[in-house]
Amino acid sequence: MSDAGPEALVGLLAEESRLKVVSAIVLGATTEREIVTATNLDPKTVRKALERLIRGGIVESATTGGLRVVTERFKEAARRVAADRPQPRPEELGATADQAQVLRNFLVDGKLSHIPATRSKRLVVLDFLAGQFEPGRVYPEAQVNYVLGRFHPDYAALRRYLVEEELLERREGFYWRTGGTFDLDEQSAD
């Protein structure tokens, strides 16, 4: 089995005939004949694609006889890509320096790993989230859900906390920012 990286896996699937062969196996074809039938490719093309896919470690003979896709290769490639991708720093997401100190404990890959139970830490997280909304702008609930959902799947809890802590106000399905840290526009000081 080849131990090539994610790029090699993508390269193996970049050829349409190989992609069709893998797809046919995923959908249940276990022999060359079944792959030919499922893909409408000629036997020579299927054989050539299979040889390349087996050499690349994507396809192998199953213990039950027949062919199978080595899904573990794709999982490992995804893990490698995720591990190599740089984590965004809270400041890159718009956090202030003070917020960043707390957020580093709760943000993983730009998402909240969990909502802090301690109110003081939760307030810092909520202040950061309130900063995602423009002062003076009214947002429909669906848009608030979308913005908060980018950070955590329980956007309803975050939305409720923001309203309870008076960082957002709600009326008739619409929300607007009513608190939190924000930068004063230097031009408005003139």
**What distance in Å separates the CA atoms of residue 182 and residue 135, rounded to the nearest whole number?**
9
pTM for the model: 0.55
What domains can you pick out in the chain, each with its CATH number? 6-82 (1.10.10.10), 90-184 (1.10.10)
**What distance in Å separates the CA atoms of residue 184 and residue 91, rounded to the nearest whole number?**
18
Sheet of 138-140: strand order equals: 138-140, 174-177, 168-171
Q: Angle, nearest 10°, between helix axes 71-84 and 6-13?
A: 130
Over residues 140-189, the pLDDT tens digits come to: 999 999 999 999 999 999 999 999 999 999 999 999 999 988 765 544 44
Segments of the chain with pLDDT less than 50: 1-2, 186-190
